[in-house]
Amino acid sequence: MNKTQKGALFSLVNFLLLIIFSIHSIKIIRNIFSFGGYPNALKIVLFWAFLIFGFMGLSAFLLYRKKQSCAEVGSDERDGLIKKRAVLVCFISVWILLISSYAVLWRIVGLDGSIPICILPLIYLGVFFAAMLVYNVTVLVQYGWGGKDGEK
């Protein structure tokens, strides 16, 4: 596995964890702002946040330290091309995801409905996480899911 593949795999796992964390914490955060409150909510959110960021730091340290070979270069033309193609796929997926999220909103609140302003950044954050997943999967697919030397 070369550096780009390691990076893609690392981001894929971490963004998956972040999505799970976000879904899990929606309920807890809603409880924090509710009238009765939820005494342990903040502790649970912080525990998950430390767990994810700890995992991120540890996996990055272990992944990037080990080189494929002594002569391994940081990035070459092919890597650049693969990344740029992945950006193109990701760019298209952002628009598809945005349109899909509006379709879901229309379905939930109706055409004449409205949503709280604070939901808007959360929608964009969700789209960002999903787009990053698409980016990393595209990079890994182009390398053939990480065979030896990134070849298939």
Partner 1 sequence: MNKAQKGAWFTLGLAILLLVFGIIIFTAMFTSGATATRLALFWFLLILTYMSVPIFLLRRRQSRSEIVVDERDNCIRKNAVLASFISVWVLLFITSIIPSYIVGQYGSIPVILLPIINFGIFLIILLVYSVAILVQYGWGGRKNE
Contacting positions for partner 1 (CB under 8 A): 81, 84-85, 87-88, 90-91, 94-95, 98-99, 102, 105-106, 109-118, 120-121, 124, 127-128
Closest to partner 1 by CB, 25 vs 101, is 101
Quote the Cα angle for 23-25-31, to 5°: 125
Q: CB of residue 106 vs partner 1: minimum separation in angstroms? A: 6
Q: CB of residue 109 vs partner 1: minimum separation in angstroms? A: 6
Closest to partner 1 by CB, 18 vs 127, is 127
Closest to partner 1 by CB, 39 vs 113, is 113
Nearest to 109 by CA among 97, 95, 123, 96: 123
Residue 54 has a CB neighbour count (10 Å cut-off) of 10
CB 129 within 8 A of CB 16: no
Distance, C-alpha 94 to centroid of its chain: 13
Helix (H) or strand (E) holding 152: none
Q: CB of residue 40 vs partner 1: minimum separation in angstroms? A: 26
